[in-house]
Structure 1
């Protein structure tokens, strides 16, 4: 099967040639930035239905954190449409970071629907460079389906550690690569070049659990979950928390 991989990859690239040409000409990214929030609004509603219980269990731990102020300073990285807001406990003061300004109108709607939270600001920035946020300013950072699409997971995790207070917690839920020796991983490799264009930089083959384990957190707790949609090349998910 490995011998067929280059041929299959070439076939997929040819079928997606118009898309890749638009990207080469610099026309695709503006289109992607415009339509992607609408796509994510649909997808996050579907995924929330599938893993609502898991998300509630994960984020319910926020209320048990010992924080220095009355409210929990929470940063959501790659906040998108605000799909996680409903799962945060009352008493969170939320700062949102996303590089795509087109998410703001969706975010405003989510803010209006979740009055149990206090909203600090929406910062248009990449996770690799959050210079607008001070060192040790956050009790919690949340990253869900974000590290697959950033340029450098290592730099993003460094920034997360920088903005977290000592003892602060990163809560994460990310899709990751299938086992390298599997047929599913081969398909991920084949689909990835085209998938990245449609998914605004989303990588299918990242071994994100390794990046989190190497990021010098004092404690990492992680569980694995099967793929949510078997019809897509998206692999298994990791969910858990990492303590600074």
Structure 2
């Protein structure tokens, strides 16, 4: 028995050490990548907000008009908030929940959150994913997202969750970059660049046909405008629009 232990102790110890290092490496990698993702998204915030500002302002004016028709303050959910640049567009006295899976983004959003709290009823940061929104059904008047559906893992489930948490008659507003038309040079370049974006920008896909998914969802009264944003050649195709529960 003693000889048996001597023969197998070292290999077993090496195997356990190898597995432990592999697990720790994975944990460390995920943490470092999550920190990197928060950093790079924050760095991109100003440029992206500038590129889509005109369409954001128009959409949030629609939200303002919705508020006036409702004759009451709004409960809003924003998905994938990043550094929270959209807070400045939100109608006064709203209650807004900011949902993002990356815990390291909160510190980058803090300045915008502090400023928004001066004119909004409440601003709550929640860590979570759009495919499993931690809110009861029929909770929000408005759900909004900008440049988020390109990177969610399960876009069908995400849109289903948006429909679930909206109040009856509630509105979904969105601005997204999307795939170019098929059989074009831009689509070819997008296909080439897609793996790069996936790695560098936290699972972002430039060939996702987001409009198709939205139109196939349970949402109704879908209105979508296609346009080209002032961004890199392969990221310019974009959509902005609204949909209703």
Would you call these one fold, judging by a TM-score over 0.5?
Answer: yes
Distance 1:204 1:28 in 2: 24
Q: Which of 92, 95, 118 is matched with 1:93 structurally?
A: 95
Secondary structure in 2 matching 1:151: coil
In structure 2, the partner of 1:126 is 129
Structure 2 unmatched runs, 5+? 1-24
RMSD: 1.9
Please list every run of at least 4 consecutive aligned residues from structure 1 whose deviation after the TM superposition is greater than 4 angstroms.
Answer: 24-28, 66-69
1:63, CA displacement in angstroms? 1.9
1:43-192 equivalences under 5 Å are 43-65=44-66, 70-114=72-116, 115-130=118-133, 132-192=134-194
Bigger helix fraction: 2
- Name which one, 1 or 2, has greater alpha-carbon Rg: 2
CA–CA separation in structure 2 for the residues paired with 1:141 and 1:41:
22
SS in 2 for 1:65: helix
Cα offset, 1:42, TM superposition = 2.6
The CA distance in 1 between the partners of 2:181 and 2:28, in whole Å, is 35
Counterpart secondary structure, 2:226: strand
Q: TM-score, normalised by structure 1?
A: 0.83
Q: Which runs of 5 or more structure 1 residues have no equivalent in the other structure? A: 1-23
SS of the aligned residue for 1:161 comes to helix
Distance in 2 separating the partners of 1:200 and 1:192: 12
Counterpart in the other structure of 2:240: 239
| Structure 1 Cα separation of the partners of residues 94 and 152 of structure 2 | 26
* Residues 142-172 of structure 1 deviation map (CA, whole Å, 9 limit, x = unaligned): 0110000011111000000000000000000
- Change over 3 Å in CA distance of 1:196–1:28 after alignment to 2: farther
Q: What SS does the corresponding residue of 1:94 show, helix, strand or coil?
A: strand
Number of residue pairs aligned between Structure 1 and Structure 2: 219
